[in-house]
Amino acid sequence: MPRFFTNEIDENNIVLTGSDANHIGRSLRMRVGEEVTVCCNGVDYCCTIGSITADSVYLDLVEKHRCAAEPNINVTLFQAVPKLDKLEYIIQKSVELGVSRIVPVLTRRCISRPDEKDFGKKKLPRLNKIAEEAAKQSGRGMIPEVTPMVSLKEAVAMMKQLDRTVLLYEEEGGCSFGNVDFSGAETVGLFIGSEGGFDREEAEMTVNAGAKQVWLGKRILRCETAPITALSILMFLTNNM
């Protein structure tokens, strides 16, 4: 069943316009009576097409329910900026695994150092489009946001608003991921390094601000493998797999 996303919805007057309406009428060639799902903030609205005009599709609500594909925790991935192709891959797979927000972070060891304005104007729209496509493909009930790039200091300030945060750091110290207590946590943050990882000062600053330092074993994972592994473990530990 085709899925479409909106940020707000009127259950008595569900209308799709713009590119969504064009996709239904011209690309999918759907007809009155066929079924579509409209997703809003983690809720699936199962509808049938009531009528179709040149620029709008009017829907009749059949039922609504919480999207089964949405985890019961809100996960923010603080990803140190890798090369663009790796970041695109990380975003796609993270959305499939249930992340709620991806925050690109510029750290000292980032090999890729995009200009902040250039990143926001040219790269960010494409990254959010990748997130949208991954959300549709994986049956998500929301489109996770890819935020503008921030500094590590800004990321740590954002982290303080979350219930629990984990820092993946390959140096000595820390604990196994499985030993972190996520009980009662509704919002969780994951800090993942770029190709060069975090330097010691950055790691200490993040831990001192409240993050739990963890390791994923003795093998060193690539920066695009680490977030996928960490998210998979987190979703498993919180019964969201």
Using CA atoms, how far residue 73 sits from 12, 65, 98, in Å, is 30, 17, 9
The distance from CA 196 to its chain's CA centroid, rounded to whole angstroms, is: 23
- Angle between helical axes of 124-137 and 84-97 (0-180°, round to 10): 30
What does the pLDDT read at residue 174?
A: 80
CATH architecture, domain 3-66: Beta Barrel (2.40)
Segments making up each domain of the chain, as ranges: 3-66, 74-237
Q: Alpha-carbon torsion 64, 70, 75, 79, what sign?
A: negative
Positions in the chain whose pLDDT score sits under 50: none
In the prediction, which pLDDT does 233 show? 94
DSSP letter assigned to residue 157? H
Give the span between the Cα atoms of 81 and 10, in whole angstroms.
38
pLDDT at 207: 94
Q: What is the pLDDT of residue 90?
A: 97
CATH fold for domain 74-237: Alpha/beta knot (3.40.1280)
What's residue 172's pLDDT? 66
pLDDT of residue 170: 78
For residue 108, what is the DSSP state? Answer: T
Residue 145, amino acid: E
pTM of the model: 0.89
